[in-house]
Structure 1
């Protein structure tokens, strides 16, 4: 039986990972099941829904070291959490001609190959980039690229009328990029986790990091498989999504035409049950275009998923730009729930 003896630094890394991936609910479910299976008391193992991340980390370590949970269960929890949710999801359409070739490319990456995840993978920074095929079926392939991400943040330390002092900090962290191609809907998803520090990333920053990650294992240029991916026209889907009151609920809107450009949003933290289109001041159903909207998608089985839907454009050279669709998912969800959202958006094209 494997134990889980961690240094203070390793505990902090584990805690930070779970916090970044929004693993409080899933961790408490795991602890609750262990408590039930071993007929434990609350003094043995704490499973309250309001446990903080430091408390959750301590209880998971305690559960493993007492044999109430296996180390493999913890690793599976961490590994699966990187598959879907709390991500930027860049969407592309597979080419009309021979889309299966894209899946064959993904099946055969180059560079260093990853093995089955271990607990050490989540407690240290990767030294390089590794790739692992996590799903290989006839009509669907998914790969996981684990790499090190480096970036700078800037904060204002002191501000006076004639003097400002800024501090720039360099951050390095683990990042797992998921690339998934599906012949059933002819869509390729590139799921990129947000940075742990600093402001929310722009589409340009997400696209650049995606390119850097892919280039470690695949040929990437205008003539390669990636250049042959077609635009997922998010702007064309938005008007029909706005007309859908069956399973979509609008929270934030950005209507514009040649005379008007505005933003509208419900107040406070996004919460299902408050459709912006029911507001008297929302009168933008006809004659307005959008590059992004935000709202909740429901499937009738699980909690609604709040999604930012963006039509982005990035500059890839001095003379070229590329348009692509990008979703932002701020909470953990299952692979199936995310696929449901992607397919519902596709059905509005």
Structure 2
């Protein structure tokens, strides 16, 4: 790094270097977040940097130390780096929260605000066992690999499985009233499973489910997301209704298998949009067939379910609902989920990965924009 202009001293250059170090959870420079406590450089080239952690048990302390050390080591004139960690006071955490979330004490769901540019997809199914969570996790990983900022809410409170399938083993960090979500494969994720011990079941009624979902959407600091995916529980129950109330602009993505019995139930899940007035983004047919060694396809669960659902919903809604793709049945898809390494990343050339990546491509080209939003401006007179 060259030292010029206002960074004419080594200490100034160190501070400039710290301005390029991002907090791994908030993804903003630590200088902007008030995390730099002190900087001192001795005549023999020892750079001593004091850094505030947001909380005492910050799980990213080693990552922050490593990033600071690497950045400062590259400054000309610095021979050694020592990083001293401290913890923010309550007042400092309050200021941090205000800088990130504003001065409002009442939690706000950013994705429900008129100016939000985040596309929200609710991945729904009529019944369990159709691979809805597998589709959610792989679409999230595929979208993140394309450079998009992606978040996943595991809204299947009773049957939460997203953290394992995405390989997210870290716990969330709480800063004041904000929750910092862990990340895996470039995807931010939150799940009730991160707040329970072991495999403890969640036994809640409707109001508690609604409150949990509300907290996931408002108390979690998601940052500026391009896409948010919600893995909904099967059916048209409390969570599906709460989602429509909390994020009315969310779009439904219906997952089914080719089996006609599953397709009929999936139609019900999609038809909830008639009551909630949500848009249907499309249908994904999972477990469409298994490719045999001789190149033939074994249609284990029958055929045509996805197209049937798409056509039926198109008729019901009076608008085209596309069949976004058909995903083959592969052991590697299940193995990737168990290992926390989605197939779109672990075996990107496999037929299932390519099908999922194609669906992600269709969702990703629908870039964030202002179409349909009121800009509160008046046309200029001629």
Please say which structure displays the higher CA radius of gyration: 2
Q: Identify, as 1 or 2, the structure richer in helix.
A: 2
- TM-score normalised per structure 2: 0.23
Q: Identify, as 1 or 2, the structure richer in strand.
A: 1
- TM-score normalised per structure 1: 0.24
